[in-house]
């Protein structure tokens, strides 16, 4: 290939890459706008007067914080928030502990039935959790566990096959030589787990905790099925009460409550995004 041909090829390639870059940017911005528009709409509705969502504009001409004040003063929002925080923290910690130990066992230990256990976890991910509602309600009624927060917490603490798979893939990338060296030095299985695997899996543990917290915080199906008293509502079931009122749906107060409910998740993500990025990148490389 002559020097002139190389120059033409380089110009064509540069032009193609430029067009591809701009097309990619346009697509990304379209997706961003699709995601951001509902958020802006909800924030605008929360600052508007009235109760009906369709009567407010995207940016209200008169901004008021009465909806936020009324939600805090006239509803059980703070109780719902407290319930959600208690449930989310307990469930996230328990699920993290169960997922870490299970992932360690499947990744670094050798025992009979290990292959079938992994296959069973894979099968579990194929079925939606809502399929278990009839069996759970039948058991809850027979055991008189309806409207008990601890019953709901125990249900959600059952673990997550996805979390176990994610952690197992991460731990598979940790060299087995470290484990063997620790065994030679007389380390027990617990020492290997607590002093080697846990510190090396810190970033992924933060990711698992955050994912579990978010999924528990936004869980609605089981909460609405098991928790019936307003004092036991979580954030999700409490928000529903704004739009299932016997007289009329109060969309502006619903929007204000939704904005306040999302603040903890935004703060958590802002302070933990470093660990999330490091954990997911390391997990994709090691797994």
State the chain's mean pLDDT as an integer: 82
At 186 the pLDDT is 84
At 54 the pLDDT is 57
Among positive and negative, which fits the CA dihedral 201, 169, 160, 261?
A: positive
Among positive and negative, which fits the CA dihedral 272, 274, 275, 280?
A: positive
Cα→Cα distances 68→11, 49, 114, 155, Å:
57, 11, 52, 32
Say whether pLDDT at 86 is over 90: yes
Quote the CA–CA distance of 121 and 119 in Å, as a whole number. 5
Rg for the chain, CA atoms, rounded: 25
**Least confident span in 10-14, 136-140, 267-271:** 10-14
Quote the CA–CA distance of 37 and 58 in Å, as a whole number. 9
What is residue 40's three-state secondary structure? helix
What is residue 122's three-state secondary structure? helix
Q: Are 179 and 104 in contact (CB under 8 A)?
A: no
Quote the CA–CA distance of 102 and 246 in Å, as a whole number. 47
Task: Considering only residues 113 and 218, tell me which one the structure prediction assigns the higher pLDDT.
Answer: 218
Quote the CA–CA distance of 123 and 139 in Å, as a whole number. 23
Q: Are 46 and 256 in contact (CB under 8 A)?
A: yes
Task: Considering only residues 67 and 160, tell me which one the structure prediction assigns the higher pLDDT.
Answer: 67
Cα→Cα distances 266→90, 213, 214, 261, 270, Å:
20, 12, 10, 10, 6
Quote the CA–CA distance of 131 and 141 in Å, as a whole number. 17
Say whether pLDDT at 185 is over 90: no
Q: Give the DSSP letter of residue 197.
A: I
Q: How many CB atoms lie within 10 A of CB 112?
A: 7
pTM for the predicted model, two decimal places = 0.81
Quote the CA–CA distance of 130 and 118 in Å, as a whole number. 22
At 91 the pLDDT is 95
pLDDT tens digits, 94-106: 999 999 998 888 8
Helix segments in 175-250, DSSP class H:
176-184, 189-192, 198-200, 202-217, 221-226, 235-243
Choose among 174, 144, 146, 122: nearest CA to 285: 174
What percentage of the chain has pLDDT greater than the value 90? Answer: 21
At 259 the pLDDT is 93
Q: Are 206 and 276 in contact (CB under 8 A)?
A: yes
Q: Give the DSSP letter of residue 193.
A: I
What percentage of the chain has pLDDT greater than the value 70? Answer: 85
């Amino acid at each position: 290939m002559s020097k002139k041909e190389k120059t033409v090829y380089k110009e064509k390639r540069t032009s193609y890459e430029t067009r591809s870059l701009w097309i990619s940017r346009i697509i990304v911005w379209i997706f961003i706008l699709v995601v951001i528009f509902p958020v802006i709409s909800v924030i605008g509705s929360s600052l508007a007067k009235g109760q009906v969502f369709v009567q407010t504009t995207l940016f209200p001409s008169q901004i008021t914080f009465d909806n936020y004040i009324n939600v805090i003063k006239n509803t059980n929002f703070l109780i719902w928030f407290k319930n959600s925080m208690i449930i989310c923290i307990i469930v996230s910690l328990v699920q993290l502990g169960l997922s870490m130990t299970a992932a360690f066992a499947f990744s670094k230990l050798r025992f009979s039935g290990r292959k079938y256990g992994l296959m069973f976890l894979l099968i579990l991910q194929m079925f939606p959790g809502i399929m278990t509602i009839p069996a759970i309600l039948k058991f809850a009624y027979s055991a008189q566990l309806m409207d008990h927060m601890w019953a709901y917490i125990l249900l959600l603490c059952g673990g997550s096959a996805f979390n176990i798979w994610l952690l197992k893939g991460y731990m598979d990338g940790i060299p087995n030589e470290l484990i063997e060296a620790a065994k030679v030095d007389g380390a027990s299985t617990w020492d290997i787990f607590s002093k080697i695997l846990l510190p090396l899996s810190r970033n992924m543990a933060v990711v698992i905790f955050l994912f579990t917290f978010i999924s528990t915080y936004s869980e609605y199906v089981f909460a609405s099925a098991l928790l019936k008293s307003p004092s036991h509502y979580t954030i999700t079931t409490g928000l529903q009460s704004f739009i299932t009122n016997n007289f009329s749906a109060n969309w502006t107060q619903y929007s204000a409550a939704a904005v306040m409910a999302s603040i903890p998740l935004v703060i958590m993500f802002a302070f933990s995004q470093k660990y999330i990025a490091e954990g997911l990148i390391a997990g994709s490389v090691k797994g």
